[in-house]
Amino acid sequence: MNHTEQRKRLRALLAGNTCITPASVWDALSARVAESVGYEYGMLAGSVASSTTLGAPDLIVLTLTEFAEQVRRIMRASNLSLLVDADHGYGNALNVMRTVVELEHAGVSALSIEDTLLPMPFGNASKDQLISIEEGVGKMRAALVARSDPSLIIMGRTQALKVEGLEGTLARVKAYAAAGVDMIFIVGVETVAEVQAVYESVKLPIMLGPAPGASFKHADIAAHGARVMLQGHTPVAAVARALRETYEHLYKGGAPGALKDKIATPQEMDKLIGTDDYKQWQRDYLMPPKSAR
């Protein structure tokens, strides 16, 4: 399947002057639900993929194969422009090239490669560490060379604000911009002034990761190049609680009917999973023509 149109939609957004928050999605059904309320952009984070695929924390135990297959499932079922967190590219610069190839083929519109030292090294697993700027630049260059569709967006991601402060962050984003990335992904931003400083340094569109305690208005940060702002992954946490409460109710002998006001109707589920299409295909391809009966 050709996903260039979804990528062009995202590029048009980045070329504008507004900032959006994409839907946090993790599988075909969540993507369909997001689209049903009007979302055109989705985000699959490594942490969400790890928790929903493996039931594991975000410690780089998810493999590229598993992550790419989640992306394929989402893109088979939706028309979202999907942004994904590709972590450190699952290895060195050569692994980054393979990561870009697989995720492009799976249908992403944008992917980020970060400069965090991952997985956590032996003897120092208590704090974040960064790879050198030189290695980070090598990864960005490798990612750009590996893409086939020029509309695919490559983001350079850094959480240097937490490790090296603003000065170190600016040095890194300038280097990644010079390498040719299309967008900068910054984690840990606490002030609009930090967003402004990054934008003035690189003049590239910016994606912001959620920062504890930070509260931004979209219009304020849009004026300084922010085009995408993540707000955490509330939907998957909401689903986890809803499942727990439903299972507890049923396990304790509660009647399914008592949950009527808390669950999707059969009609809503049919619409989400395309039941009408499948019924038509059954009539078209599993039944003989009327003239042959």
CA distance 46 to 83: 11
Domain assignment present for 249: no
Domain count, the chain: 2
**Residues 174-219 pLDDT 10s:** 999 999 999 999 999 999 999 999 999 999 999 999 876 678 999 9
pTM: 0.95
Domain with 81, as residue range(s), is: 4-233
Domain shared by 225 and 280, yes or no? no
- Cα→Cα distances 28→33, 69, 72, Å: 9, 11, 9
Which phi and psi (to 5°) does residue 113 adopt?
-120, 125
Domain assignment present for 89: yes
- Other beta carbons within 10 angstroms of residue 19's beta carbon come to 24
Looking up tokens 């603003």 gives 166
| pLDDT, averaged across the chain | 96
**Residues 85-108 pLDDT 10s:** 999 999 999 999 999 999 999 999
Domain shared by 59 and 119, yes or no? yes
Torsion sign over Cα 103, 178, 41, 218: positive
Domain shared by 53 and 96, yes or no? yes
CA distance 43 to 208: 12
Domain shared by 229 and 265, yes or no? no
Q: Is the pLDDT of residue 243 over 70?
A: yes
Q: What is the DSSP string of 142-198?
A: HHHHH-SSTTSEEEEEE-HHHHTHHHHHHHHHHHHHHHT-SEEEE-S---HHHHHHH
Domain shared by 265 and 201, yes or no? no
Q: Is the pLDDT of residue 171 over 70?
A: yes
Domain shared by 222 and 268, yes or no? no
